[in-house]
Amino acid sequence: MKSSDKDGITRREFVTRCATTSLMLGLSPYLQGCASDSTDEPKGSETLFFNGDIYIDAGQKVNTLLVRDGVVAGIDVNPANHLRAQRVDLKGAAAYPGFNDSHVHLITMAVAGSILVPTPSKEDPLEIAKAVGAACKDLAPGTPRMGHGFKLNDYDAWRLADLAEIDALTGDQCPVMIADQLGHSYIVNSVALRMSGIDDLTPDPPGGVIVRENGKATGMLRETAGALVGNSAIFPRVPDAAVKPIAIELLNTWASMGYTSIVDLMGGPMGRTMKPELCQELDQEGLLPLRINYAYTFFKLSEMQDFDKVESPWVHFAGLKLFVDGAAGQGGAWTSWENTQGNQGLNAVCTNDEEYGEEYNIYRMLDKSEELGLDMHYHVGGDLAIDAVLSAIEAVQQQNGALRGKHTLYHLGLITDEQIARMAALGDSVIAGVQPSLHWEFQKDETAFYYGEHAWGSYPYRKMRDAGVILAFSTDFASNIPELCSPTVIMRIALTGADDPQANPPLTMRDLIEGFTVGGYATTREARVGKLHPGYQADIVIYEKDLYTVPPEELSMYNPKVVATWVGGRQILPI
Q: Please write the tens of the pLDDT for every residue from 182-219.
A: 889 999 999 999 999 999 999 999 999 999 999 999 99
pLDDT for the residue numbered 35: 38
pLDDT for the residue numbered 120: 79
Helix runs in 413-484, H state only: 417-425, 436, 444-451, 461-467
Domain shared by 141 and 245, yes or no: no
Peptide bond into 574 cis (omega under 30): yes
For residue 21, being part of any structural domain is answered with: no
pLDDT for the residue numbered 182: 83
For residue 27, being part of any structural domain is answered with: no
Domain shared by 189 and 247, yes or no: no
Closest among 74, 25, 24 to 48, alpha carbons compared: 74
Say if CB 430 and CB 471 are below 8 A apart.
Answer: no
In the three-class reduction of DSSP (H, G, I as helix; E, B as strand; rest coil), residue 366 is classed as helix
Q: What is the pLDDT of residues 263-289, one digit of tens each?
A: 999 999 999 999 999 999 999 999 999
Please tell me the distance from the alpha carbon of residue 407 to that of residue 103, in angstroms, as a whole number.
Answer: 13
Domain shared by 152 and 272, yes or no: no
Q: State the average pLDDT for the chain.
A: 92
List strands edge to edge, sheet with 562-567. 61-62, 53-55, 94-97, 540-543, 562-567, 570-573
Q: Which of 24-33, 123-132, 500-509 has the lowest mean pLDDT?
A: 24-33
Closest among 305, 292, 294, 395 to 352, alpha carbons compared: 395
Domain shared by 226 and 269, yes or no: no
Q: What is the pLDDT of residues 375-429, one digit of tens each?
A: 999 999 999 999 999 999 999 999 999 999 999 999 999 999 999 999 999 999 9
- pLDDT confidence band for 234 (50 / 70 / 90): very high
Domain boundary (237, 259, 288) is at 237
Please tell me the distance from the alpha carbon of residue 447 to that of residue 451, in angstroms, as a whole number.
Answer: 6
For residue 86, being part of any structural domain is answered with: no
Q: What is the pLDDT of residues 423-444, one digit of tens each?
A: 999 999 999 999 999 999 999 9
Label residues 201-228 b or e (16+ Cβ within 10 Å = b): eeebbbbbbbbbeeeebbbbbbbbbbbb
- Is pLDDT of 42 > 70? no
CATH number of the domain at 304, please: 3.20.20.140
For residue 19, being part of any structural domain is answered with: no
Domain shared by 210 and 303, yes or no: no
Domain boundary (203, 237, 271) is at 237
For residue 192, being part of any structural domain is answered with: yes
pLDDT for the residue numbered 17: 47
Domain shared by 415 and 278, yes or no: yes
Q: What is the 3-state secondary structure (H, E, C) of 492-561?
A: HHHHHCCCCCCCCCCCCHHHHHHHHCHHHHCCCCCCCCCCCCCCCECCEEEECCCHHHCCHHHCECCECC
For residue 532, being part of any structural domain is answered with: yes
Please tell me the distance from the alpha carbon of residue 539 to that of residue 259, in angstroms, as a whole number.
Answer: 10
- pLDDT confidence band for 44 (50 / 70 / 90): low
What percent of the chain lies above the pLDDT cut of 90? 88
Q: Which residues are CB-neighbours of 219 under 8 A, at least 6 positions away?
A: 158, 162, 163, 166, 187, 188, 189, 190, 192, 193, 211
Q: How many domains are contained in the chain?
A: 2
Domain shared by 449 and 438, yes or no: yes
Domain shared by 175 and 310, yes or no: no
End-to-end CA distance of the chain: 37
- Is pLDDT of 15 > 80? no
Dihedral over Cα of 434, 440, 445, 449: its sign? positive
In the three-class reduction of DSSP (H, G, I as helix; E, B as strand; rest coil), residue 243 is classed as helix
Mean pLDDT of 235-258: 97
For residue 13, being part of any structural domain is answered with: no
Domain shared by 282 and 425, yes or no: yes
For residue 137, what are the domain limits? 116-237
- Is pLDDT of 19 > 70? no
Q: How far is CA 12 from CA 93, 234, 300, 368, 410, in A?
A: 34, 19, 30, 38, 23
Q: What is the pLDDT of residues 133-142, one digit of tens each?
A: 999 998 999 9
Q: What is the pLDDT of residues 469-512, one digit of tens each?
A: 999 999 999 899 999 999 999 999 999 999 999 999 999 999 99
- pLDDT confidence band for 575 (50 / 70 / 90): low
Please tell me the distance from the alpha carbon of residue 476 to that of residue 9, in angstroms, as a whole number.
Answer: 16
Q: CA dihedral in degrees (369, 406, 267, 209; nearest 10)? A: 70
Domain boundary (216, 237, 258) is at 237
CATH number of the domain at 233, please: 3.10.310.70
- Is pLDDT of 57 > 90? yes
Domain shared by 258 and 291, yes or no: yes
Please tell me the distance from the alpha carbon of residue 311 to that of residue 213, in angstroms, as a whole number.
Answer: 47
Domain shared by 233 and 244, yes or no: no
For residue 20, being part of any structural domain is answered with: no
Q: Residue 154 CB: number of other CB atoms within 10 A?
A: 7
Closest among 193, 177, 208, 181 to 124, alpha carbons compared: 181
Please tell me the distance from the alpha carbon of residue 468 to that of residue 430, in angstroms, as a whole number.
Answer: 11
Q: What is the pLDDT of residues 331-342, one digit of tens each?
A: 999 999 999 999
Domain shared by 417 and 499, yes or no: yes
